[in-house]
């Protein structure tokens, strides 16, 4: 094979590799949302949408919390005995039931029922947002509990206005807030049309 033929062959191989890489990049670019939707599913869509609307919540936030709490495992149990999709502890579940006048008598085992868990998780989230009048503060309370968050808001080292947390003293809660907000924003981007409430 002459030197010229070898150069041409190398050139064709090089162009083939470039073309393959360009096609691969284009495929990834156009498939990225489909891939991301696998990582950010909208499981239990009807229940989340109904309970979000009933409680005047952003469904993207509810999906973001479910993803952060249980990654959509209805049988999840945490080290603190929080259960189900939205990870409610038995004590919190019992307290939320007392806040709902027509609440049927449910047991902690019902927290493994996705519909019950989402219903009461949304009720809790709505109560927290109403109480704190600040979504980020409510998300922190969902994770760390109202007692902790209320005491943080009263401490000028953590809150300058008693409403917003400038410092979150629990590293776990700080990371939780970041994760939930990132999840919420991704759900808003990926499902802009599907999560619009009527």
Direct distance between the N- and C-terminal alpha carbons of the chain, in angstroms, rounded to an integer:
71
- In CATH terms, the fold of domain 43-190 is Lysozyme (1.10.530)
Q: Where are the domains of the chain?
A: 1-39, 43-190
Q: Quick check: helix, strand or coil at residue 88?
A: strand
pTM equals 0.85
Q: What is the DSSP string of 43-79?
A: TTHHHHHHHHHHTT--HHHHHHHHHHHHTT-TT-B-T
Q: Quick check: helix, strand or coil at residue 139?
A: helix
Q: What is the reported pLDDT for 102? A: 73
The string of pLDDT tens digits covering residues 133-179 is 999 999 999 999 999 999 999 999 999 999 999 999 999 999 999 99
């Amino acid at each position: 094979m002459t030197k010229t033929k070898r150069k041409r062959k190398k050139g064709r191989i090089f162009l083939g590799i470039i073309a393959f890489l360009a096609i691969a990049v284009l495929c990834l670019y156009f498939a990225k949302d489909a891939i991301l939707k696998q990582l950010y599913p909208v499981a239990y869509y009807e229940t989340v949408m109904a309970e979000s609307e009933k409680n005047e919540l952003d469904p993207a936030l509810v999906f973001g919390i479910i993803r952060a709490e249980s990654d959509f495992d209805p049988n999840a149990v945490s080290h603190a005995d929080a259960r189900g999709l939205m990870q409610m502890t038995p004590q919190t579940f019992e307290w939320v039931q007392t806040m709902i006048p027509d609440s049927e008598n449910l047991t902690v085992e019902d927290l493994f029922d996705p519909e019950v868990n989402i219903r009461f998780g949304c009720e809790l989230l709505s109560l927290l947002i109403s109480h704190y009048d600040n979504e980020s503060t409510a998300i922190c309370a969902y994770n760390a509990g109202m007692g902790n968050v209320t005491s943080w808001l009263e401490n000028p080292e953590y809150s300058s206005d008693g409403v917003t947390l400038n410092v979150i003293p629990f590293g776990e809660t700080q990371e939780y807030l970041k994760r939930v907000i990132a999840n919420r924003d991704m759900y808003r981007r990926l499902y802009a049309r599907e999560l619009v409430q009527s």
